[in-house]
Amino acid sequence: MLQSILMMGGLGVAIGTALVIASKAFYVYEDPTVVAIDDCLPGANCGGCGYPGCTPNAEAIARGEQDVNSCVAAGEDVALAIAEIMGVSMSEKEPEFAGPGCHYGNADAELNYIYKGVRDCRAASMLMGGMKVCRIGCLGLGTCVTACKFDALSIGEDHLPKVDQEKCTGCGACEAICPKNIIRLTSPSRRIMREYTKDECTTPCQRACPSGIDIKEYVRLIREGDYHGSLQVIKERMPFPTVISRICPALCEFDCRRLIQDESVGINHLKRFVCDYEMNQDKRIQPYKAPATDKKIAIIGGGVQGLAAGYFSARLGHSPTVYEASGEMGGILRKAIARERLSMDVLDWDIQGIEDLGVEMKTHRRAGVNFTIPGLLRRNYDAVFTATGGWDSRLAISGVGGAENTIPGTYLLIDLLRSKDDANITIEHGDTVVIAGGGIRLPDAVEILKSSGTKKVVVISRKPPEDSSFDQATIDAMAKAGATIQYNTGITKLMGEDDTLTAIEYVDLDSGERHIIETDTLVIGSGRFPELAFVVPGAADAAAEEDGEETAVVDSVDSTLAWEGVELQKKPDLINPLGLLSNQDVISEYSSAVAAINGGRRAATLIHHLMYGIELPDPQRMITPKSVVQNVNTLTQVVPSPRNILEIAKSREERKDRFSTGFSSQAANEESHRCLRCGLVCYEKA
């Protein structure tokens, strides 16, 4: 008996010792912060946060890699509780929701069209990306419904998914599981910054529109009588809808697929109809905005591009201020378009809509006189954009009227050439001057600089050596005067301190290598200053470290302000688009107002990315007019129908009537029914 007791006691001691050793060897430390955050989370493990469960998300929040409101399954109370644990404040999160891409099922499809070229799906996929997004291809089996953890999806009677936006959290589970890419997440910011890619099913008219308006969708909504929804679609990409509906060159109509059969759809006239409907109601229909941020943006120039940049910046949640040298906003729209084509009440209506959206406008503010770019950055602006245009940008030249340069240390070539004979124009420069472009007047510019004391001139030329504008003797003469030419290069960035340019960055267009030249003077061989977004380098990282607290860009006026001027992102082209003075840059003036509007949208997008340190999307996937996409050369079962024509006004005064809709409701409905809704693989029954 005693032996058994001793044996059992010894066994207990051995097991206890083993457990003690095991607890030391296999001990796992649990971070109390992670545990506290994990206890707050609902435990849905839906994956909407981007992590495979609530615990990994809690760990990411504790590391500062996720926002306190990153859980899509939880409410605001949970986010506030997590914020208290982390000791931070919570900012408003932009809502995202899923949107289905189909409008009718296969049973409703009747008309088909014939694709040009290869007919084999595999070959089409290799050569042209395949069928892109098949908007009519929903299988209707409800896989997305089973993936949704929040009961926000259902399959309707038409066998298409229906989204309950009140329940949808934007977790993305349906988007990830849909094999046809029919359901996609969307938000105001995503729609503003979106650049269409080769992988998407875009219509010919949409690809031709410089602003990328979803034409098919707004025409469809007009057909259904939803004018409010149609305006929302138009204003996603268009801050001047009423103006553009009167002066747009309507490039979209030249690519309308109905031209294969009869006449193009009156796309621009339909836009005018629905925009004038809004004016008739005298009730503003504003597009969606992202939640407010603490970012302030200054925009120099109150023309089309500048106001567009302010419009899209405001919709991204920022606080933009537009500075205009003259007494009125509108630029060339106000000064150079005949009143018969565009009455000022229409222009004022659209500008008022931009102001109502949250864009502050200041007139009689001239760059170089009332402010400078570094000065604006010192005044706690997070970014500055130059939208000075082509017709008045040369007003701010150093030595003329006491004005400083619009861009520190930057001049236009025409003013350098004029300074030789005009004593009122002074070009201040140091020992090293960089010239971008120059053309056949480059030798004259080098001679002027040399005579005024310049020791070294570096020419940034986009041309290869074999395409040089000069013979060898001229090149040798410029070299003797201290000029060197960097071929196949383009300027990508300006760098400076306070009111001084200190360096430029250029890229080798062949290798992609980037180099820096120290200089205090840049001469641009174009008719206008370039479109550049100016920011303080590293400000995005510093703001993140401050946990969202608003701080001045520079602590005091006595400290040195470093700044960078970054070029707008460009679409890929057959010729390398990087660098200033590429084929995609505007060297004098935009060809149309609608193109300038898209320039403003691209500027707002770039500024948004720069302020938050977000990497820009890969431009190689962006679709361009030169992209090879599947096309159509034959239509079947499309009944010819005449285009509806606007009624001719009886007098010039009638044409100025702000309530002129152009189309009647009946004519607009008839014209909207002529749209073939291209981009689908088949057409809906009439």
The string of pLDDT tens digits covering residues 359-414 is 999 999 988 889 999 999 999 999 999 998 866 555 545 555 556 778 899 999 98
Average pLDDT value for the chain: 81
**Rounded-to-10 torsion of CA 584, 588, 591, 592:** 110
Confidence of residue 120 (pLDDT cuts 50, 70, 90): low
For 523, other C-beta atoms within 10 Å of its C-beta total 26
Distance CA 9, CA 516 (A): 79
Residue scoring higher pLDDT (212 or 142)? 212
Give pLDDT, residue 433: 94
Query: Could you tell me if 525 and 406 are in contact, meaning their C-beta atoms sit under 8 angstroms apart?
Result: no
Query: What is the pLDDT at residue 322?
Result: 98
pLDDT at 490 exceeding the cut of 70? yes
Per-residue pLDDT tens over the stretch 309-360: 999 999 999 999 999 999 999 998 998 888 888 889 999 999 999 999 999 9
Only one residue has tokens 């609902």, namely 42
pLDDT interval class at 424 (50, 70, 90): confident
C-beta separation of 109 from 682 below 8 A: yes
pLDDT average, residue stretch 451-480: 88
Residue 656 banded pLDDT, cuts 50, 70, 90:
very low
Strands 383-386 and 456-460, sheet pairing:
unpaired
Cβ proximity of 395 and 365 under 8 Å: no
The whole-number pLDDT of residue 283 equals: 84
Q: What is the mean pLDDT of residues 248-267?
A: 94
Least confident of 120-124, 192-196, 278-282, 440-444: 120-124
Compute the distance between CA of residue 373 and CA of residue 363 in angstroms, rounded to an integer: 17
| pLDDT > 70? residue 252 | yes
Total count of residues recorded for the chain = 686
Which tokens is 196 given? Answer: 């269409």
The pLDDT of 432-451, averaged and rounded, is: 90
pLDDT for 80? 75
Task: Find the radius of gyration of the CA atoms of the chain.
Answer: 30
Question: What does the pLDDT read at residue 341?
Answer: 84
Contact between residue 430 and residue 521 where contact means Cβ atoms under 8 Å apart: yes
Tokens matching residue 645:
């024509």
CB 388 within 8 A of CB 365: no
CA distance 157 to 162: 10
Residue recorded with tokens 């981007």 = 50
Rounded Cα distance between 413 and 419, Å, is 10
> How many Å apart are CA 146 and CA 154, to the nearest integer?
9
Amino acid 144: pLDDT: 84
Report the range of poorest mean pLDDT among 161-175, 254-268, 667-681. Answer: 161-175
β-bridge partners, 521:
433
Which pTM value belongs to this model? 0.80
Say if CB 489 and CB 506 are below 8 A apart.
yes
123-155 b/e with 16+ CB inside 10 Å = b?
Answer: ebeeebbebbbbbbbbeeeeebeebbbbebbee
- Amino acid present at 144: C
